[in-house]
Amino acid sequence: MDGLDFSSPFGFNGTGPAFNGATGPNPTFNSKTGQPSNIPSIPHIQVEALTLPDLMKNPHVQAMYNSWKEASAQVVQGAQLQHSLFKENNRLTAEVTALHKRHHDDL
């Protein structure tokens, strides 16, 4: 299916009869859902009730977590660089101030 992975740790793995818009010459439809009756239904899952280990089994959740972790590391690195530059700026300001003072004292 176009390289998409519909696997799930919750029992539905996307396998079953393929659906291409019709299920045969006379498809039957579920009156409640409007879906063809021979397509397996996906169980309704309350995501809020899942544990973190169960959520992390989902490749999309894992990818979001990895992206968040990478972005967090970049933010920390940026804050550390900013702090380092702030300290260097203070050191250079003090050095320039001392040089100005020494220069004025020599005059």
Task: Note whether 57 and 90 are same-domain residues.
Answer: yes
Going by C-beta distance under 8 Å and a sequence separation of 6 or more, which residues neighbour residue 14? 1, 6, 7, 8
pLDDT level of residue 74 (50, 70, 90 thresholds): very high
User: Are the C-beta atoms of 39 and 16 separated by less than 8 Å?
Assistant: yes
Predicted local confidence at residue 75, as pLDDT: 98
Mean pLDDT to the nearest integer, 22-44? 64
Task: Note whether 95 and 55 are same-domain residues.
Answer: yes
DSSP secondary structure letter of residue 45: -
Q: For residue 97, give its domain range.
A: 48-106
Task: Note whether 72 and 97 are same-domain residues.
Answer: yes
Task: Note whether 67 and 33 are same-domain residues.
Answer: no
Task: Note whether 1 and 28 are same-domain residues.
Answer: yes
pLDDT level of residue 48 (50, 70, 90 thresholds): confident
- Domains: count for the chain: 2
